Amino acid sequence: MKRRSYGRDAGLTLRMLFTTGLLGLLYVFFGLVLVYFLNVGIAPMIILLGILAFVQYYTSDRLALLAAGAKVVERDQAPDLHDMVERLCGMADLPKPKIAVMDTPVPNAFATGRSPKHAAVCVTTGLWHRLEPREIEGVLAHELSHIANRDVLTMTIASFFATLAAFITRWFLWSGMFGGFGGSNRDNNNGPPVWLIVIAVSIVVYAISFILIRALSRYREYAADRGSALITGAPEYLMSALQKISSQMTLIPQQDLRQVQGMNAFFIIPARARTMASELFLDHPPLEKRMAALAKIAREMGRPVS
């Protein structure tokens, strides 16, 4: 008997496809504008940024752990954590990632790494101490799903041209301030100057891609939540874990929040000192929506969760 898998979400797939498509179109347009107006002047910058992005992508596991101040722990230092991750990897058919612990009372977790073979999962001591084992399992499975879905790769590619646009904007504003406009004064006589067009296009591309990337990031959170439900077979534990984590996030002092704020894109629930105005600019979906999506999966599995 072939069973339809739980957590299928045609709407989510469609939205992901739509967002990725839009982002692709936007970047093609951006690329065409650059090539058309600047010929080869922009090539060194693209190459430089490409190298930067590649290095970042290549060292993402070590870099993120370093930035978070997390320490990789071996089996004898955290046997239970290792056992738990190993079994979940067995279920998800993933190689075992490096396991790291971050010493902070804020309960949270993140995953990083360019491929399943070069990945790391990090949990905070707060998560380990404040949550029940099955809840921790739900969180770990969410992070493993990020690894399985290759989210670091996807987001690196998705934000490459956005970074380029931001760079160009700044570069031209700088050189504009100091006179010469990068030697691009071919058609100064008629129409608006080239640098103005390029800046305008860069700003627009950056703004639109910012929103699209955030949307993509939110969709991938939903996908990882779904993955967690599949791996653990029990979405209700992830739900209670999210509830606990988010309620703890608001209790902790400002000091800690600022310290970890740079890591937001990776965290299961971002640390935020104040709530932002609109969902459009968030990299994580609001808790209520995640809960609703998980409750839907739980319903599909046959046990209603209120």
Partner 1 sequence: MGLRDALFGRKKLSEPRDDRLFALATAAVTLETELGLTTAGKAAVTFKPLSSGDFTRVDTDVESLIKAAGRSAGSEIERKSDSYGFEWLIVHDDDLEDQVTAVHAVAQELTDQGFGAQLLAAPFLFKGYQHPVYWIYGFKRGAFWPFIPTGDGQNRDNAEELELKAKLEKELPVEQDLTRWLALFDAPL
283 is an interface residue for partner 1 by CB under 8 A = no
Q: Applying CB under 8 A, which part among 177-185, 218-226, 264-272, 275-283 lies near partner 1?
A: 218-226
At residue 287, what is the residue type? L
The two beta strands, 109-115 and 118-124, are antiparallel
Query: CA 61 to CA 95: how far, in whole Å?
Result: 15
Task: Work out the widest C-alpha separation in the chain, in whole angstroms.
Answer: 73
Query: CA 170 to CA 110: how far, in whole Å?
Result: 31
Least spacing, CB of residue 4 vs partner 1, in Å = 9
Residues 5-24 that bind partner 1 (CB under 8 A): 5, 7-8, 12-13, 16-17, 20
274 is an interface residue for partner 1 by CB under 8 A = no
Residues 152-171 that bind partner 1 (CB under 8 A): 153-154
148 is an interface residue for partner 1 by CB under 8 A = yes
Query: CA 301 to CA 219: how far, in whole Å?
Result: 21
For the chain, the residue count is 306
Q: Applying CB under 8 A, which part among 51-59, 129-137, 202-210, 278-286 lies near partner 1?
A: 129-137
Tell me, yes or no, if 143 is annotated catalytic.
Answer: yes
Which of 252-257's residues contact partners 24+ apart within 8 Å by CB, and which partners? 252/105, 252/106, 256/104, 256/105, 256/106, 257/106
Residue 102: name the closest of 66, 134, 135, 77 by CA.
66
Q: Applying CB under 8 A, which part among 3-11, 34-42, 203-211, 251-259 lies near partner 1?
A: 3-11
Name the residues that contact partner 1, by CB under 8 A: 1-3, 5, 7-8, 12-13, 16-17, 20, 75-76, 79, 82-84, 86-87, 89-93, 95-96, 117, 133-134, 137, 145, 148-150, 153-154, 220, 222-224, 226-227, 230-236, 298, 301-303
